[in-house]
Amino acid sequence: MLDINFIRNNPETVKQAAKNKLIGVDIDRLLILDAEIRKNSADIDLLRNERNSLSKLNKGGNSEEITEKVKKIKQVLFEKETCLENSRKEFNQLMLIVPSVPAPGVPIGKDESDNVEIRRWGDIPKFDFEPKDHMELAESLDLIDVPRAVKFAGSRAYFLKNEGMLLELAVCRYVLDKLVSKNFVPMSVPFMVKDTAMQGTGYFPIGYDQSYKLQEDNLFLIGTSEVSLISYHQNEILDYSDLPKKYAGYSTCFRREAGAAGKDTRGLYRVHQFQKIEQIIICRNDVKEAEELHYQILNNVEEILQSLKLPYRVALACTGEIGIGQIRKHEVETWMPSRQNYCETHSCSTMGDFQARRSNIKYRDTDGSTKFVFTLNNTGIASPRILIPILENYQQKDGSVLIPDVLQPYMNGQKIISTK
């Protein structure tokens, strides 16, 4: 959420940000409502003072003239309070869809084709045989079962089994250990949250259709542990000396993938349920510090992919791709042979104070004043999507799959997955 003072002073900047982010919000209407709220609030204060003064003069109720004036004031107050309530309701709804302003240097564009590649790492594998996709490999090695999952759980459901399940655990534990060594606090988080948590982190109201709702309990399943970890400090004032806070959240994540019908239906690329480790940082309200931390968590991911020896590229996301709250986002895309392309596996975002304002998270500065914190996030690893490049890039001519060196200790020393 943006500061209303910033919107008042920079309406054209905010309008342009909304246009560039492809978000429809009426800033002119928002400012009209803002003016109405301020005027009605001032009028209401004056009327209440006048009513109270007249009531004091007429304690015994002997003056019919004053009594009549008080009645008229009460009627006007009721009308203005009703108008104020309606204006505030509409104002608050509009404020929730006002996007943050992209940082300088973010490319303007509509979709991922307008992202700007920053760098690549690793050599794309060259096979001297016809490579299989991850599903062919996984099914032949008995690592996955989709048909049995689909028959009772519906589309995009799957079972991971045997080394498939162990490989998922291995890569998640490896990444978690890596982040803990960098002073991230490991956290297992609630999967079910209130709408205030979804709204506070910017996933509602835009994105509502992507979430699963538990109707009877009015709770929602998270699509990332970011929701729970940011909400962990909801309505708190943190100490200056305790910042930055770094969390590594491990959770099952749930996404409806609304609007993805017919897209990526084969395999594990786009599923409704997955495991993810998320990097979360809560820092001081300092643009330079936040930028440094952004590149730290981006570097963490690059270190992980390099240690897994998976080719990848880093791209700076354009305005149409960075979402409502992000002011900067880098996408890390790992090479997937079956798709003959680099495909997104990680997303690194700086949010400024966007989530902090919505979630009311502040810190007390050294001068005693309170400020909204800045928040950042980046995927640590997400599975089963990461299993796609592992299986496909490490496949052998005989249909077996080598296990990356760094994951072998987490697989009890196993070096290869082969047919039984």
Q: Which two tokens stand for residue 260?
A: 């993805």
Tell me the residue type at 81.
E
- 347: annotated active-site residue: yes
Asked if residues 403 and 169 have their Cβ atoms less than 8 Å apart, the reply is: no
Q: Find the catalytic residue in 270, 284, 339, 364.
A: 270
Q: Find the catalytic residue in 225, 347, 349, 383.
A: 347
Strands 144-145 and 116-121, how do they pair? unpaired
- 270: annotated active-site residue: yes
Tell me the residue type at 414.
Q
DSSP bridge partners of 331: 315, 347
Q: Packing angle between helix 64-95 and helix 27-57, nearest 10 degrees?
A: 160
Asked if residues 193 and 228 have their Cβ atoms less than 8 Å apart, the reply is: yes
Q: Which two tokens stand for residue 24?
A: 């429809």
Q: Find the catalytic residue in 344, 357, 359, 383.
A: 344
CA dist 212 and 59 (Å) reads 58
Write the CB contacts of 15 (distance below 8 Å, at least 6 apart in sequence): 27
DSSP bridge partners of 332: 314, 346
Q: Which two tokens stand for residue 387?
A: 């299993």
- 385: annotated active-site residue: yes
The DSSP annotation for 64-83 comes to: HHHHHHHHHHHHHHHHHHHH
Contacts of residues 409-412 at CB distance under 8 Å and 24 or more positions apart, as own/partner, are 410/169, 410/170, 410/171, 410/173, 410/174, 411/163, 411/166, 411/167, 411/170
Write the CB contacts of 416 (distance below 8 Å, at least 6 apart in sequence): 396, 400, 401, 402, 403
The three-state DSSP-derived secondary structure of 151-198 is HHHCCCCCEECCHHHHHHHHHHHHHHHHHHCCCCEEEECCCEECHHHH
Q: Find the catalytic residue in 51, 156, 357, 385.
A: 385
Tell me the residue type at 230.
I
DSSP bridge partners of 117: 315
- 38: annotated active-site residue: no
CA dist 315 and 106 (Å) reads 11
CA distances from 248 to 56, 73, 104, 167, 172 (A): 60, 57, 28, 20, 11
Q: Find the catalytic residue in 156, 163, 211, 255.
A: 255
Active site positions, annotated:
255, 270, 344, 347, 385
